[in-house]
A and B are shown apart, each in its own frame.
Chain A
Amino acid sequence: MTKLLVLVQRSVREALRTPEALLPTLFIPLFFLVVNVGQAARIFPSGSTPFLEGQNYAAFQLPSSLLLAASFGTAALYLVEDIEGGYFDKLRAAPIPRTAIVFGRLFAEAFKSAAIASAMVLVALPFGISIASGPLGFLLLIVITASWAVVFSGFMQLIALKTRSAAATNSAGLIFFPLLFLTPSFVPRGLLTRPMEIAATFNPVTYIMETMRSLVLEDFNWSVIGKGFGVVALAGAAMVALSVRSIRRYD
């Protein structure tokens, strides 16, 4: 456990020492939030748009931005650096469980994502966004965002371990675009065209986004929240299992 904590600390320190990599994960999602709200807020006025539950369109868009912030997967790029630079082998030659190398980065990614998501919500509050489910809802919102960051980083780490290439790992990150946009990111699922609705229904990210949105816009809707956490738990378990398998077979 101490060894895992040492590796988590190292990854957090690494992130703090590369603000040029950390800051875009905060500012780019905020930029998209501002742009998307600027483009569509007048189409969806809060007074006459039932799905906004009395809030403004920024509250509806906030989950998309939180998901974007959690999907940069920079942990995997640091892992590729470790592999290319030889430090990964140094860690593999130490008497620590190979899984600690994977979990060290993933836990650090969860902390980092939780901090960024909290900062984003705090920045959004003065602009009329409130978390309708209260402090516990805020906590759940941060937890599901951080959990998604772990899932996505797990996927990226898997690619990094398989390919050992920064270019391939970077390219794999582009999968986030279909995952994020084949969702009800601008309107609820029921208002999508039929093909989009089918695509969104099959996209697991939809359920995470709907959970986050539910926590922002309404009081606790446990059936929606349960689906989101269920999806993130399943995807997380799969990604962690595959990453662990991959590092154990790394030769």
Chain B
Amino acid sequence: MTLAVEAEQLVKHYSGRGGEVEAVRGVDLHVQGGEVFGFLGPNGAGKSTTVRMLTTLMTITSGSARVAGVDVAADPEAVRRKIGVALQEAGLDIRQTGRELVILQARLFGASMAEAADRARELLELVDLVEDADRRIKGYSGGMKRRLDLASALVHEPEVLFLDEPTTGLDPASRLTVWDELRRINERGTTIFLTTQYLEEADQLCDRLAIIDGGLIVAEGTPAELKADLRQRRDLDQNPTLDEVFLDATGRTRERVAGEVQEVPA
């Protein structure tokens, strides 16, 4: 079976104000078709940069990547036809209505006007936005925007759906709604590549996951495997949580993470 996502020694360097930045330093990934794959890491670990390379939005410094069997660097347009993308910021044009946005997206993927209108109706129903479909996006709540972004990423029935922190900033109810939608989308056969900072989200949704830190993969496996591994290494009485697995893999302590979180607003 063709791997949905395959990366070998993926590297991204770019010039920042303080000099050369090594955002991703040699990432290997192997995601099976039909999986929900979680990509976890602290802020600045290289999650979004990796996703941007895999989705053709950023050039690859070295290494190689294939998505849905297509080489990302050699044929980016073919990759774009096979993937759906919903990035950290819900990428929406707030002056359009929800329906207009989905129709436009479908037309960009080659649908006729009639096909696009049908597809929009179907997707807006899927993400429960039928009643608000003809309202301008500007008036949508954060959760509605996220769901619409998801719908617009699905117009062409992508083989692989990339979601970069799809529930960041959502209230718990909206988060649960997005989870339900992701499960439904995955049941239809779409591979989901999901980055998240919410470990519970990864635990609930992902078949397998990888943890990236400092631009390198530091742990990979199913949530159960990762927990069992830590339990064995630390000789624990019961299975650890995914939070503990994450802290162990990234070499962080709760105190240090808390300190980092406190530093963010400053």
Q: Is the CB of A3 within 8 A of B107?
A: yes
Residues of A with C-beta under 8 A to B77 = 95
Q: How far is the CA of A95 from the CA of B79 in the complex (A)?
A: 8
| 0 or 1 for each of A11-35: is its CB under 8 Å from B? (1 = yes) | 0011001100000000000000000
Q: Does B90 interact with chain A (Cβ within 8 Å)?
A: yes
| 0 or 1 for each of B146-181: is its CB under 8 Å from A? (1 = yes) | 000000100000000000000000000000000000
Q: Is the CB of A96 within 8 A of B108?
A: yes
Q: Is the CB of B94 within 8 A of A13?
A: no
Q: Is the CB of A6 within 8 A of B80?
A: no
Q: Is the CB of B87 within 8 A of A89?
A: yes
Of B83, B87, B105, B107, which one neighbours A86 at CB under 8 angstroms? B87
Q: Describe B's contact surface by its main secondary structure.
A: loop
Q: Does B14 interact with chain A (Cβ within 8 Å)?
A: yes
Q: Contact residue range for chain B? A: 20 to 34
Q: How far is the CA of A6 from the CA of B109 in the complex (A)?
A: 11
Q: Is the CB of A87 within 8 A of B92?
A: yes
Residues of B with C-beta under 8 A to A197 = none
Q: How far is the CA of A89 from the CA of B91 in the complex (A)?
A: 7
Q: Which of B95-146 contact A (CB under 8 A)?
A: 95-96, 100, 104-105, 107-110, 136
Residues of A with C-beta under 8 A to B80 = 93-95
Q: Does B182 interact with chain A (Cβ within 8 Å)?
A: no
Given contacts A13-B96, A17-B95, contact A95 B104 (CB under 8 A): no
Q: Which of A168-221 contact B (CB under 8 A)?
A: none
| 0 or 1 for each of A56-82: is its CB under 8 Å from B? (1 = yes) | 000000000000000000000000001
Q: Does A242 interact with chain B (Cβ within 8 Å)?
A: no
Of A7, A86, A87, A94, which one neighbours B109 at CB under 8 angstroms? A94
Q: Is the CB of B104 within 8 A of A251?
A: no
Q: Does A42 interact with chain B (Cβ within 8 Å)?
A: no
Q: Is the CB of A86 within 8 A of B88?
A: yes
Q: Which of B63-86 contact A (CB under 8 A)?
A: 77-78, 80-81, 83, 85
Of A7, A86, A251, which one neighbours B91 at CB under 8 angstroms? A86
Residues of A with C-beta under 8 A to B88 = 86
Q: How far is the CA of A3 from the CA of B91 in the complex (A)?
A: 18
Q: How far is the CA of A18 from the CA of B96 in the complex (A)?
A: 11
Q: Does B200 interact with chain A (Cβ within 8 Å)?
A: no
Residues of B with C-beta under 8 A to A91 = 108
Of B90, B93, B100, B110, which one neighbours A82 at CB under 8 angstroms? B93
Q: Is the CB of A89 within 8 A of B57?
A: yes
Residues of B with C-beta under 8 A to A126 = none
Q: Could you tell me the distance in whole angstroms from the C-beta of B88 to the nearest C-beta in chain A?
A: 7
Q: How far is the CA of A7 from the CA of B78 in the complex (A)?
A: 20
Of A3, A14, A93, A96, which one neighbours B93 at CB under 8 angstroms? A14
Of B78, B110, B152, which one neighbours A90 at CB under 8 angstroms? B152
Q: Does A92 interact with chain B (Cβ within 8 Å)?
A: yes
Q: Which residues on A are within 8 Å of B, measured CB to CB?
A: 2-3, 6-7, 10, 13-14, 17-18, 82, 85-96, 251
> Known contacts A89-B91, A94-B105, A94-B108; can you find 9 more A-B pairs with CB under 8 A?
A2-B107, A6-B107, A7-B108, A10-B104, A85-B93, A85-B94, A86-B87, A86-B91, A93-B55
List 5 contacting pairs A-B, 8 Å CB cutoff, sorted by A. Answer: A86-B87, A90-B92, A94-B105, A94-B109, A251-B14
